[in-house]
């Protein structure tokens, strides 16, 4: 191979590898949450898959740099030295082997045997908590049963931000969700018999009969509904005990009122929950780490991350270990859960004593983060637990809702006493914020209130 061509190829590989590696580093958390978790990989597996990609991209970049140096160190027009080409082939093999080993290590770790592990407990948990994933398609007002869950669709419509669907899920007789969701949203469910139980809004779609124009449909009035098709596609996933996973017998999960007994959590739920902490610290301390090796500060460290990811079982187990719910690093677990739209985690943290109006270093509360994240279910949980809709005064939750342009959230906050005339530290009202962001519908709603200048 001519040295000039070798140098050019090396330059392209070096620049491309570095660029791709930097992109992966910047987006690693997003990729792990949006894609790897949907693929059914746990935190440990996701870590090793991302590590394999990074080794490959930066390895190729390094090989490209070596090739470029060889090309520039050899007289133009002359062939590349045989030893140099052999070195490049060797480096390529090393990079591919290292990336493959990193990926295989992550995916095979749960099956490895180790004297410090507890094989009997692991086998038990595998039997008791069975993973599943079902795709369900619903039309407006339809209902469907799967793995003991009842999914119902209410209205399906479209607004300025796109299509939305009302979705509710009944688990063990408890209905959760029920608000408007859009494509890409999650409904995180809670059940004593399941962990990581969630509904992912895979698609929301409205289509009309192509033979009819919009004008014709408007002239038809209510009869036009027969020519408009609405549907929502849901991906239901989780790990549940066989009674939930294999048969819809919700009534067997709660004790009878006559017995007077209070519901008790599954025998292994707490042990199962702290596996998230074990897996996290195995990546730092080695594969031999067990529950017995975990220190109290390890649980505290994991609480914000588990809250952000919406891992209900993990958060429950960490709370049971006595973690401090109001410790901010720099945001509290409640803020992370609200920012990430996990209404069930927010409710769990508040029930165990999290302070609802704690402020972050930037002056935001959990309600501010929920309003900014378009999460009406989370906002309702916070307000029901006493969140002040007019705090903080520097930039109120209503201003966050106006900034994000969510009219539904703005209207809800107004009904709960949010003051549209309050001004931020920069002298702006919520209407001014909506105007600055060009959210005309929200601005019009807020301008309907007469505020003194």
Do 54 and 96 belong to one domain?
yes
Q: What is the pLDDT of residues 118-159, one digit of tens each?
A: 333 333 444 456 667 778 888 776 778 877 788 888 788 888
- The answer to whether residue 264 is domain-embedded is no
Do 28 and 144 belong to one domain?
no
Do 437 and 335 belong to one domain?
yes
Do 138 and 84 belong to one domain?
no
- The answer to whether residue 262 is domain-embedded is no
Per-residue pLDDT at 37: 46
Q: Which two tokens stand for residue 308?
A: 């952000």
The Cα 231–Cα 165 span in angstroms is 8
- The answer to whether residue 124 is domain-embedded is no
Angle of CA points 413, 415, 421, to nearest 5°:
65
Q: Which two tokens stand for residue 328?
A: 């901010």
- The torsion angle over the Cα atoms of residues 49, 51, 55 and 56, rounded to 10 degrees, is 20
Of residues 336, 299, 304, 344, the one with CA closest to residue 320 = 299
Q: Which of 111, 143, 178 is the last residue of a domain?
A: 111
Do 285 and 407 belong to one domain?
yes
* Mean pLDDT, the chain, integer: 74
Do 134 and 98 belong to one domain?
no
Per-residue pLDDT at 367: 95
Q: What is the pLDDT of residues 353-367, one digit of tens each?
A: 999 999 988 788 999
Q: What is the pLDDT of residues 404-438, one digit of tens each?
A: 899 999 999 999 999 999 998 888 999 999 999 99
Least confident of 9-23, 31-45, 56-70, 223-237: 31-45
Choice between 257 and 42, residue whose per-residue pLDDT is larger: 42
Range 88-109 burial, b when 16+ CB lie within 10 A, else e: beebeeebeeebeebbebbeeb
Domain ranges, residue 390: 269-447
Q: Which of 111, 139, 172 is the last residue of a domain?
A: 111
Mean pLDDT for the stretch of residues 197-212: 77
Per-residue pLDDT at 436: 92
Number of independent structural domains in the chain:
3
């Amino acid at each position: 191979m001519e040295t000039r061509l070798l140098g050019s190829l090396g330059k392209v590989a070096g620049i491309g590898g570095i660029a791709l590696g930097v992109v992966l580093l910047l987006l690693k958390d997003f990729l792990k949450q949006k894609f790897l978790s949907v693929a059914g990989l746990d935190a440990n597996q996701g870590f090793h898959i991302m590590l394999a990609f990074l080794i490959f991209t930066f390895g190729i970049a390094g090989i490209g740099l070596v090739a470029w140096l060889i090309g520039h160190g050899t007289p133009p027009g002359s062939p590349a030295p045989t030893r140099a080409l052999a070195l490049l082939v060797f480096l390529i093999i090393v990079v591919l082997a290292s990336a493959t080993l990193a990926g295989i290590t992550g995916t095979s770790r749960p099956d490895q045997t180790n004297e410090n592990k507890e094989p009997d407990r692991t086998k038990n948990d595998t039997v008791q908590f069975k993973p599943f994933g079902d795709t369900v398609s619903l039309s407006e007002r339809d209902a469907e049963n799967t793995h003991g869950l009842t999914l119902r669709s209410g209205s399906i419509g479209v607004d300025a931000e796109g299509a939305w669907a009302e979705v509710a899920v009944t688990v063990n007789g408890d209905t959760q969700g029920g608000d408007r969701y859009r494509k890409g949203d999650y409904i995180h469910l809670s059940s004593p018999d399941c962990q990581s139980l969630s509904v992912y809004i895979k698609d929301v779609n409205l289509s009309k009969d192509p033979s009819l124009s919009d004008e014709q449909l408007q002239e038809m009035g209510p009869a036009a509904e027969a020519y408009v098709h609405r549907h929502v596609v849901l991906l239901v996933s989780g790990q549940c005990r066989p009674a939930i996973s294999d048969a819809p017998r919700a009534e067997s999960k709660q004790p009878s009122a006559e017995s007077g007994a209070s519901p008790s959590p599954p025998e292994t739920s707490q042990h199962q929950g702290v596996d998230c902490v074990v897996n996290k610290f195995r990546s730092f301390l080695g594969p031999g780490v067990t529950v017995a090796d975990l220190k109290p500060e390890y649980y505290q460290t994991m609480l914000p991350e588990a809250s952000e990811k919406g891992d209900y079982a993990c958060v429950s187990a960490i709370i049971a270990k006595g973690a401090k719910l109001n410790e901010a690093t720099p945001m509290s677990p409640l803020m992370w859960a609200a920012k990430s739209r996990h209404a069930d985690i927010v409710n769990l943290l508040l029930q165990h004593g999290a302070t609802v109006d704690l402020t972050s270093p930037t002056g935001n509360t959990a309600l501010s983060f929920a309003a900014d994240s378009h999460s009406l279910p989370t906002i309702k949980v916070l307000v029901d637990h006493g969140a002040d809709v007019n705090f903080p005064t520097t930039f109120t939750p209503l201003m966050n809702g106006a900034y994000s342009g969510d009219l539904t959230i703005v209207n809800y906050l107004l009904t709960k006493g949010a003051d549209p005339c309050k001004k931020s530290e920069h002298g702006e009202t919520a209407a001014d914020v909506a105007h600055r962001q060009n959210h005309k519908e929200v601005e019009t709603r807020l301008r309907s209130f007469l505020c003194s200048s």
